[in-house]
Structure 1
Amino acid sequence: MTIALFTLGGTISMAGDSPGAGVVSRLTGEQLTAAVPGLADLAEPLEIHDVQAAPSASLSFATVLDVVAAASRAVTGGATGVVLTQGTDSMEETAWLVDLVWPHPEPFVVTGAMRNPTLAGPDGPANLLAAVQVAASPEARELGALVVFAEEVHAARWVRKQHSTSTGTFGSPNLGPMGQVVEGVPRILARPSRHAPLPQPAVERWEATRVALHTVVLDDDGLLLERVADTHQGLVVAAFGVGHVPAWLAEPLGELARVMPVVLTSRTGSGSVLEQTYGGPGSEIDLLGRGLLNGGMLDPYKARILLRLLLASGADRERITEELALRG
């Protein structure tokens, strides 16, 4: 039995630097694992797959789903779990996309690093070791995609990157970590409900499906919304607080909701959009009444991924509403 390790670059794999260009070179998976004390002593050997060297800010849905397909083949071939190393910038989104489509009981663990190997106290080796320990643990089965960082285990549904530089950057504001790695042993303390995986659309459907994200700000003029229906098939609104926008944006958002799915979320990153507390133009009651869809507790970034996946799969408004209620 093996653990399939897929590497996508990122800070965890950077080493050396170029004058004036920062840290840019990449370690292979073999080099990366060789630098982790104790990794070779684990019972499950690693099956290493070097995918590509790409900053996580440059990853695409297609790239992530290619990794999912390769990981699925590895599990079908006997791997007991999967680990993906990548940059942290988009890790919460990558993990959520994987979680939505991962069809296996074997865990899919995502990890990386905040401090590259050229710095004192790099966190990559410890994170990778913990990630492999979680991927190999029977306790992590049936939990879907997980983010393991700083010896904490986070559900993809809830995890967020919360700090630009801290090694403790990942947290789950609405839930907290669902587990910890203690002396090399994963301890799963909570088991959130897991829903059936969603179908994966063909690549051409992904490329033809665009979902915009509009973050509402003080004195928002709404100009960015004027042509969105010409270029996108869906919209996520990151609204104030519990789901509020300036009164003058209520009508144009309602008009957009008549021609495309518009999902209402909170820009705060935790907590839920409300349904029936505040009234008046631009309130959640007003916006939902105009046809916007309630994103519930989904943050704007995760709502965008879910909406794009559903639209690319051909889901109608009724199905989108059902999935938002189920997963939000």
Structure 2
Amino acid sequence: MVPRHRCGAPSPSGHWCRATAKHIRAWFRLRHGQEFHMGGISLFILGGTILSIAGKASPADSAALLQQAGIEPAGPVSVTRWRNVGSQNLLMADLIALAAEIGRQAASGTKGFIVIQGTDTMEETGFLLSLLVPADIPLVLTGAMRTADAPGADGPGNLNDSLCAVRALSGLALGPVICMNGELHAVRHVRKVDAGRIGAFASPGIGPLGTVVTGRVRLLQRPLPQPGPYPLPDPANLPRVALVTVGLDSDPLLIAAFASPDWQGLVVEGVGSGHVPQALAAPLIQFAKQSPVILVSRCGGGDTDADGTYQGEGTAAHLIANGLIDGGPLQGRKARLLLTILLARTTVPSAIRAALVPWAGLGLLTD
């Protein structure tokens, strides 16, 4: 008898429980009951709820995953347990290495890639990969909001949809997409907007790129091409970039805490269209004289008021006119990743500013 914890999770011996095997097998079946032939598809497992039983991460390795799934591939198959952590514990170094591996496999003929991970930082993982992986490489990220043993577990359906999507997206150069709850989302726009519901992902103001229903993939729109990809940075020498979200009566000490040589950059999420309390204006402008500071809105959608509809100390127009860099519609957590990658290439202020101009102006048709 396979030893199990009381909750039904596998024991530390590494065996799978019956429920896990059942769900893994279901992931690789089409809805009409046939095996999904994964020729040319590479699957990377990073961990997360999708591979958990009652909150315990599965200990299975790649060989066990294939065996329990009962896959009979029609072509080359690569299933790799890249990491086995909650997504809050993923490191940028993990994802830089993953981007390098995706590039190597794509150069060797792999046709598409799927990344399974926890949902908490999936939007950031996807965006970081979009900065490092060419857009013409089909790449789909997916996970689950419910554990594999939960009633109505969404993992099998999400992975099934991802398998369909990664093939259908070949040749479209959409860059990485997130596939959750029957929807495809561009990583630049998508956000996790709910901590627990199945429909936890949305692209506010934009909507999904497409849908996956009973194996049929429908494209609804195409994202604008974005700058990149950028050279892979040295993961051992990544610059430190802080993210600060401004709120009502934020204390200037919030900015002073990062005004040291230990921090090479700062992203500020201002209220509304990028404004900050007057008391924060001077320390931010001073910080921008020594290190790049990107200004975005904390709303998660919409633009900064770089044109100056609002005037006065602490407004977006005042801050940008005095050295802060306009982040346009970028979300703060993604602007932080972008600035990290840019600073890994150069610390020249004019070069950083020039590299961010096209990001702030994405889709802008008028000055």
Query: Which 5+ residue runs of structure 2 have no aligned equivalent?
Result: 1-38, 361-367
What one-letter code is carried by the residue in structure 1 that aligns with 2:206? L
Q: What is the CA-CA distance between 1:248 and the residue it aligns to? A: 1.0
State which structure, 1 or 2, has the greater radius of gyration over its C-alpha atoms: 2
Q: Residue 150 in 1 paired to residue 188 in 2?
A: no
Q: Does 1:82 align with 2:113?
A: yes
**Structure 1 residue 216 corresponds to structure 2 residue 246:** yes
Aligned equivalent of 1:320, options 349, 352, 359: 352
Contact 1:139–1:188 (8 Å) recurs in 2: no
**Aligned-residue offset at 1:256:** 0.6
Deviates most, 162-171 or 74-83: 74-83
Corresponding residue SS for 1:92: helix
CA-to-aligned-CA distance 1:247-294 (integer Å, 9 cap, x gap): 111111111111110110111111111112100111111111111111
CA distance in 2, matches of 1:281, 1:82: 48
Amino acid at match of 1:175: I
Q: Is the counterpart of residue 310 in structure 1 residue 348 in structure 2?
A: no
> Counterparts in 2 of 1:174-193, with a 5 A limit?
174-193=205-224
Contact 1:158/1:172 (<8 A) preserved: yes
Paired-residue identity, %: 39
The answer (yes or no) to whether the contact 1:14–1:27 under 8 Å persists in 2 is no
Counterpart of 1:197 in structure 2 is 229
Report the equivalent of 2:56. 23
Greater displacement, 233-242 / 218-227: 218-227
1:135 to 2:166 alignment = yes
Structure 1: distance between partners of 2:303 and 2:100: 33
Q: Which residue of 2 aligns with 1:13?
A: 51
Structure 1: where are the runs of 5+ without partners? none
Aligned 8 A contact 2:100 2:232 in 1? no
After superposition, give the CA deviation of every residue in 1:280-321 in whole Å (9 maximum; x if it has no partner): 111111111111111100011000000011001115323322
Cα distance between partner residues in 2 of 1:111 and 1:282: 40
**RMSD, aligned α-carbons:** 2.1
Alignment of 1:1-328 (within 5 A): 1-15=39-53, 17=54, 22-29=55-62, 46-103=77-134, 105-138=136-169, 141-195=172-226, 196-206=228-238, 209-230=239-260, 231-275=262-306, 276-328=308-360
Amino acid at match of 1:226: A
CA spacing shift, 1:302–1:4, aligned 2, 3 Å? same
Aligned-partner residue type, residue 295 of structure 1: G
Q: In structure 2, give the amino acid aligned to 1:293.
A: I
1:118–1:182 Cα change, 3 Å: closer
- TM-score, normalization: structure 1? 0.91
| 2-structure distance, mates of 1:274, 1:5 | 42
Q: Deviations over 1:149-178 (max 9, x none)?
A: 111111111111100001111111131101
SS of residue matched to 1:228: coil
